[in-house]
Amino acid sequence: MDLSYGVENESFRAEVKAFLKEAWKPLDDQGGVLKGPALKAFIKGFRHQAVERGYLYRGIPKRYGGSEQAADVMKAQIIREAFAAARAPMEVSGNGINMLVPTLLDRGEEWQREMFVRPTVEGEFNWAQGYSEPGSGSDLASVRTRAELINGEWVINGSKIWTSQGDRCQYMFALVRTEPEAAKHAGISYLLIDLRQPGVTIRPLRQMTGEAGFSEIFFDNAKTPADWIVGRPGEGWQVSRTTLKHERASIGSADRGVELLGKLVELARKAQRFGRPAIEDREIRQDLAAFEGWVLAQKYTAYRQFSLAADGKEAGIVGLLNKLYTTDIGHEAARIAQELIADEALLMPAIPGPGVRRGDEKWLDQVMGSLGVAIAGGASNIQRNIISERGLGLPRDLALQGE
Ligand SMILES: Cc1cc2nc3c(=O)[nH]c(=O)nc-3n(C[C@H](O)[C@H](O)[C@H](O)COP(=O)(O)OP(=O)(O)OC[C@H]3O[C@@H](n4cnc5c(N)ncnc54)[C@H](O)[C@@H]3O)c2cc1C
């Protein structure tokens, strides 16, 4: 196995590193003096330069604010590695850039791309994903929120739930039922909705950590223009598949597992168990060794996936396994951490607040958060169904046959 990148790619890496030293280092040198709007402006300027050099938004055409580079998985990986090492920001994150932009590039009208892509790339438009409803999560095609075309506008009634960052987004891309007479999957449309209007009520939902990362969103005769639809009426299900493909692809990565392993070992050195450092305990050592095995398996599977992509081949079942494996690793890390922290967890705040020591208390967030990650973007059991059907060619879930 040859894990080197080759001379040409190494010279590209040197070029990216030199750029980061020049464009990003000044912020480090200021020792965190920049804050608020000044910091935001610095980051925006840095991203602009990175786009000009062809390092960010490589798959997005220049006319919409991207750098329009030919697909090159080696270069993309080198950029990720160099930016991570310099702790420099990459693209703005969120549903808009991860899900809506690829969907608009694939399926949107030209005017929709012109209107929405650049402000989303620049972080000015924030998007909520309006799919789940009470009773429609895994069985997403059962959505009941209605939209009717009345006098040149869609009039929307119903509600969405578990909308991440819903109270902080101006816009939503939503699946709504527009043809109630049509078969389940054929009656859905993909609408773009401005959330800042009187017909929309947003109620943040408080979680067990104390944070409110989700909202419940109610539509009461809310309106959106007739052409704020991606694809034709009734094509929303196919359009949403484009988006979900990007969501699932963006979740799997080996980096987080490697980081968690390092932090767990550090925690095991500090924590006490039966009057001595926990790392000296046989059971804990076995747990950590097994965990390292999982993480290394994921790391080398990621290399396999990377090699397949570099040869222009599809990742197939390896790619489908990624999400499940990543969330399983998150669970296992949380279980070991819980074992190590033991009763101290009862006294820890779930969210680090002002004056609270950062570090250990993040473990509680890992314990609680790992549950949510296994559900977001499709629950683990649904992912198992996908692996068995699409990856292994097994027959469809009996309960769903005929749908
Ligand atoms: C952190 C987080 C962020 C989220 N963000 C968003 C968001 O921004 N926008 C949005 O629209 N939604 C969001 N969601 C919602 C998420 O998509 C749904 O919670 C998820 O699809 C599961 O749906 P449900 O909660 O209705 O559970 P259900 O569908 O009721 O599932 C309950 C359990 O039954 C199992 N199950 C269901 N059907 C089957 C089957 N056919 N075979 C085997 N097992 C099955 C599931 O695996 C699960 O364990 C988010 C959720 C989380 C946790």
Question: Per residue in 199-228, pLDDT tens?
Answer: 999 999 998 878 889 999 999 999 999 999
Q: Is the pLDDT of residue 253 over 80?
A: no
Check residue 261 and give its pLDDT.
94
Nearest residue by C-alpha to atom 40 in ligand 1: 382
CB contact at 8 A, 348 and 341: yes
| 125-234 and 252-400 have identical folds | no
Pocket of ligand 1 (CB under 6 A): 129-132, 137-138, 162-164, 372, 375-376, 378-379, 381-382, 385, 397
Task: Calculate mean pLDDT across residues 158-164.
Answer: 97
Residue ranges covered by each domain of the chain: 7-91, 125-234, 252-400
Burial class of 181 by CB neighbour count within 10 A (0 to 12, 13 to 18, 19+) = exposed
User: Catalytic residue among 91, 133, 247, 332, which?
Assistant: 247
Check residue 30 and give its pLDDT.
60
d(C-alpha 100, C-alpha 86), whole Å? 28
d(C-alpha 60, C-alpha 47), whole Å? 14
Nearest residue by C-alpha to atom 47 in ligand 1: 381
104 token code pair: 């608009």
62 token code pair: 């220049």
Check residue 114 and give its pLDDT.
96
- pTM beyond 0.85: the answer is yes
Q: Which atom of ligand 1 is nearest to the CA of 374?
A: 53
Among 385, 393, 391, CA closest to 138:
385
Give the pLDDT band of residue 113 (cuts 50, 70, 90): very high
CB contact at 8 A, 193 and 100: no
Looking up tokens 């017909």 gives: 199
Residues 252-400: name the CATH superfamily: Butyryl-CoA Dehydrogenase, subunit A, domain 3 (1.20.140.10)
Which of 138, 144, 373, 387 has most ligand 1 atoms within 8 Å of its beta carbon, as the pocket-test mutant?
138
Encode pLDDT of 317-342 as tens digits. Answer: 888 888 888 899 999 999 999 999 88
- The alpha carbon torsion through 338, 341, 344, 349 (nearest 10 deg) reads -70
Which of 131, 375, 386 has most ligand 1 atoms within 8 Å of its beta carbon, as the pocket-test mutant?
375
Among 67, 64, 60, CA closest to 16:
67
Indicate the class that CATH gives domain 125-234: mainly beta
Which of 328, 382, 394 has most ligand 1 atoms within 8 Å of its beta carbon, as the pocket-test mutant?
382
- Ligand 1 center from residue 281 Cα (angstroms): 38
247 catalytic, yes or no? yes
Helix/strand/coil (H/E/C) assignment for every residue in the chain: CCCCCCHHHHHHHHHHHHHHHHHCHHHHHCCCCCCHHHHHHHHHHHHHHHHHCCCCCCCCCHHHCCCCCCCCHHHHHHHHHHHHHHCCCCCCCCHHHHHHHHHHHHHCCHHHHHHHHHHHHCCCCCEEEECCECCECCCHHHCCCEEEEECCEEEEEEEEEEEECHHHCCEEEEEEECCCCCCHHHHEEEEEEECCCCCEEEEEECCCCCCCCEEEEEEEEEEEECCCEECCCCCHHHHHHHHHHHHHHHHCCCHHHHHHHHHHHHHHHHCEECCEEHHHCHHHHHHHHHHHHHHHHHHHHHHHHHHHHHCCCCCCHHHHHHHHHHHHHHHHHHHHHHHHHHHHHHHCCCCCCCCCCCCCCHHHHHHHHHHHHCCCCCCHHHHHHHHHHHHCCCCCCHHHCCC
- Ligand 1 center from residue 375 Cα (angstroms): 5
Check residue 248 and give its pLDDT.
47
Q: Which atom of ligand 1 is nearest to the CA of 372?
A: 53
Burial class of 294 by CB neighbour count within 10 A (0 to 12, 13 to 18, 19+) = middle
- Ligand 1 center from residue 379 Cα (angstroms): 5
- Ligand 1 center from residue 140 Cα (angstroms): 9
Angle among Cα 330, 162, 320 to the nearest 5 degrees reads 45
Query: Which amino acid, 57?
Result: Y
Check residue 354 and give its pLDDT.
57
Q: Is the pLDDT of residue 247 over 60?
A: no
Encode pLDDT of 6-39 as tens digits. Answer: 999 999 999 999 999 999 977 766 656 777 888 8
Q: Is the pLDDT of residue 359 over 60?
A: no
Q: Which atom of ligand 1 is nearest to the CA of 400?
A: 41
Nearest residue by C-alpha to atom 26 in ligand 1: 137
Encode pLDDT of 255-293 as tens digits. Answer: 788 889 999 999 999 988 889 999 999 999 999 999 999
Q: For the chain, what percent of residues have pLDDT higher than 70?
A: 91
Q: Which residue has the higher pLDDT, 361 or 86?
A: 86
- Ligand 1 center from residue 378 Cα (angstroms): 5
d(C-alpha 177, C-alpha 158), whole Å? 10
- Ligand 1 center from residue 115 Cα (angstroms): 31
Angle among Cα 201, 116, 70 to the nearest 5 degrees reads 140
Tell me what the pLDDT averaged over the chain comes to: 89
67 token code pair: 């750098």
Nearest residue by C-alpha to atom 31 in ligand 1: 138
Check residue 126 and give its pLDDT.
96
